[in-house]
């Protein structure tokens, strides 16, 4: 799976994007967050406040309980602030 990060999340994780093989126990966006948090303290810090996180699978906004099946890219970022 390709992971992409933006804004505050990107800075906290320390990279724009990465490719990772996701364990078979990881089914949803929420599972991904939990798994990454355990991988490294940087993810734990970046994902510390779930209320301030938003997710997109293949560039479509999704909720944390969405299954990853069939998607290639998970984006994790704060609420948008354009305009």
Partner 1 sequence: MKQVAVTAEPISTAMALDPLEHLGGGALASFTGIARADCGVVALELEHYPGMTEQNLNALVDEAMARWTLLGCVVIHRVGKIAVGEQVVVVATAAHHRAEALDACAFLIDRLKTDAAFWKKEHRTDGSALWVEAKSTDDARAEKWSL
C-alpha distances (whole Å) from 58 to each of 1, 40, 62, 72 are 11, 24, 10, 6
Q: Which of helix, strand or coil describes residue 30?
A: helix
For residues 14 and 31, what is the distance between their CA atoms, to the nearest angstrom?
21
Between 25 and 59, CB nearer to partner 1: 59
Between 32 and 56, CB nearer to partner 1: 56
Minimum CB–partner distance for residue 83 and partner 1 (Å):
4
Interacting residue ranges for partner 1, rule: CB under 8 A: 4, 6-8, 10, 56, 59, 75, 77-83
Between 33 and 75, CB nearer to partner 1: 75
């Amino acid at each position: 799976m390709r992971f992409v990060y933006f804004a505050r999340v990107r800075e906290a994780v320390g990279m724009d994007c990465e490719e990772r093989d996701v364990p078979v126990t990881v089914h949803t966006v929420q599972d991904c967050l939990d798994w990454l948090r355990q991988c490294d303290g940087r993810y734990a810090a970046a994902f510390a406040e779930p209320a301030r996180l938003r997710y997109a699978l293949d560039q479509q906004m999704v909720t944390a309980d969405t299954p990853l099946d069939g998607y290639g890219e998970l984006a994790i970022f704060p609420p948008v602030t354009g305009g």
